[in-house]
Structure 1
Amino acid sequence: MGRKAWLFADTKKGATSSAIVYSIVETAKANNLNVYKYLTHIFSKMPGMDFKNNPSLLEDLLPWSAKLP
């Protein structure tokens, strides 16, 4: 994604969502992760996790976590 991608957000909510995804991708890159493998990992783990009752579970999925495979 490049800077021109921001020109095509139709709504403020869409632009915010794009910025969140871009931030996750860039943070994964900054932590020397394979972005595709990282996203595949977190998207496969997140649906089965109870973040509402145990928000600390999210820490294991952050790009700088030592618990990532």
Structure 2
Amino acid sequence: MSTKNPVAQAMNYFLRRADTFTRFLTEGRICLTNNAAERALRGIALGRKAWLFAGSDRGGERAAAMYSLIVSARMNDVDPQAWLADVLARINDIPNPRLHELLPWHWKARHHDHNTIAA
């Protein structure tokens, strides 16, 4: 088979990256598909025409950052509205080295502990 044959090119591509394509076999946290990521982006794709004109590049960058935060919260089973409200209320009082505590997965653990103690 010629090296220019599309099948040979695809096989060579796979063979050069075999460890990447088979990593899911040894690492159970890796999903076989990107369906979860596509579902998370579905709302953004559906609204693309409405958001085409964000006002400016900076506005588009801010919108992208907000979508990233909201999707991160959802992927960690955190209510984005409650999380953002709490983070915005507390962010000025937290020193830079502790900002990681406001990330959705840390926030969820902290609020779960507080709710368990209160119950």
Fold shared, TM-score > 0.5 on shorter chain:
yes
Q: Alpha carbons of 1:50 and 1:11: their partners in 2 closer, same or farther (altered >3 Å)?
A: same
Which position in structure 2 is the counterpart of 1:43? 88
Query: 1: distance between equivalents of 2:48 and 2:71?
Result: 13
Unaligned runs of 5+ in 1: none
CA spacing shift, 1:5–1:61, aligned 2, 3 Å: farther
Q: CA RMSD in A?
A: 1.5
1:58 corresponding residue in structure 2:
99
Superposition deviation, residue 24 in structure 1: 0.3
Matched AA of 1:34 = D
Deviations 1:45-69 (A, max 9, x none): 1011222xxx2x11111011133x1
TM-score normalised according to structure 1 size = 0.79
Q: CA deviation at 1:17?
A: 0.4
Give the paired residue count.
64
- TM normalised by structure 2 equals 0.49
Identity %: 34
Matches within 5 A, 1:1-69: 2-51=47-96, 55=97, 57-65=98-106, 66-67=109-110, 69=111
**1:5 CA displacement:** 4.2
Cα–Cα, structure 1 residues 5 and 33, in superposed 2: closer, same or farther, change >3 Å?
farther
Greater share of helix:
2
Moved over 2 A (4+): 1-6
